[in-house]
Amino acid sequence: MDLQLTGKVFIVTGAGSGFGNAIARALARENAEVIAISRTAEKLAPLQQMYPRLITTLAGDITQPRFLKKVLPFIDEKMLGGIVLNAGGPPVKKAADCKPADADNAYSLLFRWKMEWLNELIPLFVQQQYGRIVSIESISVKHPLPSLVLSTSLRLAVTGYLKTLASETAAMGITINILAPGYHNTPALNRILENTAAEKQISVEEARQKLQESVPVKKLGNPDHLASLALFLLSPLSEFITGQTFSIDGGSNPYLFG
C-alpha cells in the first residue's frame, strides 16, 4: 500500500528510543523526511547513519519553551506533513505517595509542551489546509494502571485537550489522534518492571514474565508494529479519522468500547 508519505516532512519527538524511534524509522522507510528529536544526541546518531538523506536529528529538551524555535527553521519552506508528540513518562508512584511538586513536573513533561507546540503549529497546518497529529499516550487513559497515577492523570488531561482541538480543526484538513499503548518492549517498561520487582521481591525477569502472562495475547507489544498504525494515521489516507484514541494493548482493556 502506498501511504503517500514520500517527500512529506514530519517532526518526531522522543525519537531516541521506543515508539518515537520506531516511528521515525518507519517514516524514513516510506521516503518521508523526518526531524528526529531526543534529549541525547548519542541516541539519535544511529538514525542519521541509517537514513542520512531523510533523517535530520536535533538534540534538546522539548519541554523547554524556547526549544521549538530551534526546530522550526528545519522545516524551512517545506510542507509539514505532521508531528508525532511523544515523551517519556513521569516516575512510577502510587497516588498516596505523590506530592504537588510531582504533579507540577508531570504537567511539564506530559502536557504543557504539547499545548505550546500545537499553538505554534496549528496556524501552519491551517494555512496549508492539511496536517496530521499523532500523540503517543498510554492505555491508562482507558483504565488506570498500578502505580502510574501521574501518567494516568496528566495523559487524561492531554486526551481531553486533543479531543477538543480535533473538533475545532476537523474542517481544516487537520486530523488529531491518540495511540494508547499497553505494555510494549520499550526502555520505558523497565521502570515499571523494576518497581514491580521491588514491591513483590522478585527478579526483574520474573516481573517481566508475570506481566507478559497477564496480557491476553500472552506477549508484550512490538514498537515497530505500533509504528505501522502511526504511519497510517500520519498519511493522507486517514482523512476521515480524527479525535480518536486507539488501544494497542494485546486485549487487556476489559471494556466494551476499547
What CATH number should be reported for the domain holding residue 145?
Answer: 3.40.50.720
**256 in any annotated domain:** no
**74 in any annotated domain:** yes
Domain co-membership, 154 together with 203:
no
**255 in any annotated domain:** no
pLDDT at 258 > cutoff 80: no
pLDDT of residue 75: 87
The number of distinct structural domains making up the chain is: 2
**47 in any annotated domain:** yes
Domain co-membership, 43 together with 67:
yes
Domain co-membership, 197 together with 236:
no
Domain co-membership, 197 together with 122:
no
Domain co-membership, 161 together with 213:
no
Domain co-membership, 45 together with 78:
yes
Domain co-membership, 33 together with 105:
yes
pLDDT of residue 206: 94
Domain co-membership, 30 together with 126:
yes
Domain co-membership, 114 together with 52:
yes
Domain co-membership, 80 together with 138:
yes
Give the pLDDT band (50/70/90) at residue 248.
Answer: very high
- Mean pLDDT score of the chain, rounded to an integer? 94
**171 vs 122, 129, 196, CA distance in Å?**
13, 9, 45
**3 in any annotated domain:** no
- The range of the structural domain enclosing residue 205 comes to 184-220
pLDDT of residue 196: 87
Domain co-membership, 155 together with 49:
yes
pLDDT of residue 195: 83
Domain co-membership, 143 together with 233:
yes
**114 in any annotated domain:** yes
**168 in any annotated domain:** yes
Q: What is the pLDDT of residues 22-71, one digit of tens each?
A: 999 999 999 999 999 999 999 999 999 999 999 999 999 999 988 998 99
pLDDT of residue 197: 87
